[in-house]
């Protein structure tokens, strides 16, 4: 979340009258003191219920004249009593803070929109799921109307994007490291903080409903803890909280990481990537802000198979970068018949551009056999296949994992069955797989050498953090280091089955220097290929204005001229191309086009 003045953007609200004493730097008077409900440990079963032996005497706990600490029922921290059995340090009744609602008025069950958000965050945190895949199903299952679906969507994605910032705020409101809080409790707390600091939700509603969510999904003890912590959060304005955590940052990198809610290593990588692709590293703040903005859904109609007429009738607008694309913001895509039929689908404009650039790049000689080496989940393969079908080309789509290969089959299903084939196998062994001649498209020989090859390698996905905000918290520099040998090996394998003069597109959804310019450098040193003008290939397929100028010309030109390693072959005007969320409104897609020598 950006922490500039206002904090909430259009969702801001007045916080006049809120005190500043709620969360101090020293940690004194934090949730967890006395009867606030904070827990010293989190011993819960998989069902989310407090662990340990139930207290037979109810919520008051066993009196302990010896003064030894007693664990509260529900795991709400420790209660210390004096020799008379009275709770130590307990405030007088006149000094205690009580809920504004009578017990009979407090919500006991979570509303459906918040329950959906919690369900999705739990799947992301506990099952390594992706929110963009889980959320639509959860919304449909809960039968949310458009208003509640919008609320659940903003609550889910906003909480995921701003997780790092919210954890820094929560650290001032609890009596333990945030990492020691139980996973489900922490998820509920983040949901509550997002409502308090970044949405148009009154404090009393955010508190009441979030505590009810904790009570329904986790238990009464954790709900008391959530109530105490969120009351601490509500005592400061968003501006005060952001100023506090930014002031504590020891350096500029940490400041940006906290302010823009990205891991510090990602911020550093983005700065380096901007410089490596010929842009000003000072753009990093704009790039981070673009990552935190909700992306508009891009639609593509498969050429020769579908049209965007239905989407336009539902309010979709023409896409600014690509012909045959549209921007859609009218709700659930599944309501469109063309989407249900598979001839119109959601696909980022950057993905559309790189697929079209490979398909339309000038090529001498035969143009019948195309290969998508790493085809899952199938979006680019479907667009390539549709474009190829119009020219009589056949597509072989390879995917290493069987379950992802099945996704590719579903994605390609609207195409004529004789125009493509899907195989499951290690892309590094594609030459052996093709030589076996099993399940190749009709009339494609076993000794085929391909004319156009897409190598959309497995990558860090740092270019798609707008659509997959949870990815920023899952990745590490080690992940990238482990991917680099695979990325180079996949390109080598692609080159081994490409005919001389054939085209190979190296594509990543990441701007990271190691996955882009460094791999291109290695390719030029180790593979007998020539780098072409990749920027020109993208400009050629972008939308044109009335004067014929490409939408990717001028300030939007993604081209960059890399340094050539000794002995490398570069075509005249050779470039790589990098798209950016803050410049082009796309994922940070990298594209390098090669011709096999």
Cα→Cα distances 7→160, 198, 239, 440, 447, Å? 17, 7, 6, 56, 61
Q: How far apart are CA 240 and CA 418, in angstroms?
A: 63
Q: How far apart are CA 527 and CA 517, in angstroms?
A: 15
Q: How far apart are CA 287 and CA 88, in angstroms?
A: 52
Q: How far apart are CA 65 and CA 55, in angstroms?
A: 17
Structure tokens at 89: 């340090």
Interstrand relation of 317-318 and 369-372 (parallel, antiparallel or unpaired) = unpaired
DSSP bridge pairs for 576: 560
- Torsion sign (Cα): 73, 79, 82, 86: negative
In sequence order, the 6+-apart residues with CB closer than 8 A to the CB of 282 are none
Structure tokens at 135: 């959320």
**Closest alpha carbon to 519 in 290, 273, 161:** 273
Q: How far apart are CA 43 and CA 46, in angstroms?
A: 10
Cα→Cα distances 583→57, 234, 271, 541, Å? 63, 36, 15, 18
Q: How far apart are CA 379 and CA 385, in angstroms?
A: 10
- Which residues are annotated as catalytic? 509
Cβ neighbours, 10 Å, residue 14: 7
Q: How far apart are CA 368 and CA 582, in angstroms?
A: 37
Interstrand relation of 450-456 and 369-372 (parallel, antiparallel or unpaired) = parallel
Interstrand relation of 450-456 and 498-508 (parallel, antiparallel or unpaired) = parallel
- Torsion sign (Cα): 287, 291, 296, 299: positive
Cα→Cα distances 52→40, 56, 62, 69, 341, Å? 14, 12, 15, 15, 53
**Closest alpha carbon to 170 in 51, 16, 38:** 38
């Amino acid at each position: 979340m950006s922490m500039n003045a206002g904090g909430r953007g259009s969702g801001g609200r007045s916080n006049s009258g809120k005190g500043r004493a709620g969360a101090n730097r020293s940690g004194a008077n934090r949730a967890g003191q006395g009867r606030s409900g904070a827990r010293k440990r989190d011993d819960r079963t998989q069902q989310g219920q407090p662990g340990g032996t139930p207290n037979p005497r109810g919520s008051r706990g066993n009196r302990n004249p010896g003064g030894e600490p007693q664990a509260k029922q529900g795991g709400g921290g420790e209660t210390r009593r004096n020799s008379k059995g009275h709770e130590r340090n307990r405030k007088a009744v006149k000094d205690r803070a009580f809920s504004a609602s009578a017990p009979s008025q407090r919500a006991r069950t979570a509303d459906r929109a918040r329950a959906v958000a919690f369900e999705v965050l739990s799947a992301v945190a506990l099952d390594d799921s992706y929110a963009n895949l889980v959320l639509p199903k959860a919304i449909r299952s809960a039968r949310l109307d458009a208003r509640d679906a919008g609320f659940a969507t903003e609550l889910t994605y906003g909480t995921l994007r701003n997780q790092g910032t919210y954890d820094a705020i929560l650290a001032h409101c609890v009596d333990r490291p945030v990492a020691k809080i139980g996973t489900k409790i922490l998820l509920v707390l983040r949901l509550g903080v997002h409502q308090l600091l970044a949405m148009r939700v009154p404090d009393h509603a955010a508190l009441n409903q979030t505590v009810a969510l904790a009570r329904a999904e986790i238990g009464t003890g954790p709900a008391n803890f959530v109530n105490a912590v969120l009351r601490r959060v509500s005592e400061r304005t968003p501006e005060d909280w952001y100023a506090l955590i930014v002031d504590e940052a020891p350096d500029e990198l940490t400041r940006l990481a906290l302010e823009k809610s990205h891991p510090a290593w990602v911020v550093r990588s983005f700065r380096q990537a901007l410089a490596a692709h010929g842009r000003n590293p000072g753009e990093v703040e704009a790039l981070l802000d673009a990552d935190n903005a909700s992306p508009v859904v891009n639609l593509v109609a498969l050429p020769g198979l579908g049209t965007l007429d239905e989407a336009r009738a539902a309010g979709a607008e023409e896409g600014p970068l690509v012909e045959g694309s549209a921007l859609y913001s009218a709700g659930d895509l599944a309501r469109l018949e063309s989407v249900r039929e598979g001839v119109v689908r959601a696909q980022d404009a950057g993905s559309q551009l790189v697929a079209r650039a490979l398909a339309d790049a000038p090529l001498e000689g035969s143009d019948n056999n195309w290969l998508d080496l790493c085809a899952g989940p199938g979006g680019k393969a479907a667009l390539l296949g549709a474009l190829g079908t119009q020219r009589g080309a056949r597509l072989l789509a390879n995917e290493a994992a069987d379950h992802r290969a099945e996704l590719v089959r579903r994605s390609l299903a609207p195409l004529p069955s004789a125009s493509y084939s899907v195989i499951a196998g290690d892309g590094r062994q594609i030459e052996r797989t093709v030589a076996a001649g099993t399940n190749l498209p009709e009339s494609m020989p076993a000794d085929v050498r391909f004319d156009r090859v897409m190598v959309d390698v497995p990558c860090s996905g740092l270019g798609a953090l707008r659509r997959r905000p949870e990815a920023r918290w899952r990745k590490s520099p080690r992940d990238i280091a482990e991917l680099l040998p695979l990325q180079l090996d996949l390109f080598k394998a692609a080159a081994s089955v490409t005919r001389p003069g054939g085209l190979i597109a190296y594509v990543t959804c990441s701007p990271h220097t190691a996955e882009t310019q460094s791999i291109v450098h290695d390719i030029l040193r180790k593979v007998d290929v020539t780098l072409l003008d990749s920027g020109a290939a993208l400009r050629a397929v972008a939308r044109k204005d009335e004067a014929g100028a490409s939408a990717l010309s001028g300030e939007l030109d993604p081209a960059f001229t890399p340094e050539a390693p000794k002995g490398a072959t570069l075509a005249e005007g050779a470039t790589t191309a990098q798209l950016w969320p803050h410049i082009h409104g796309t994922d940070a897609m990298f594209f390098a086009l090669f011709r096999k020598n």
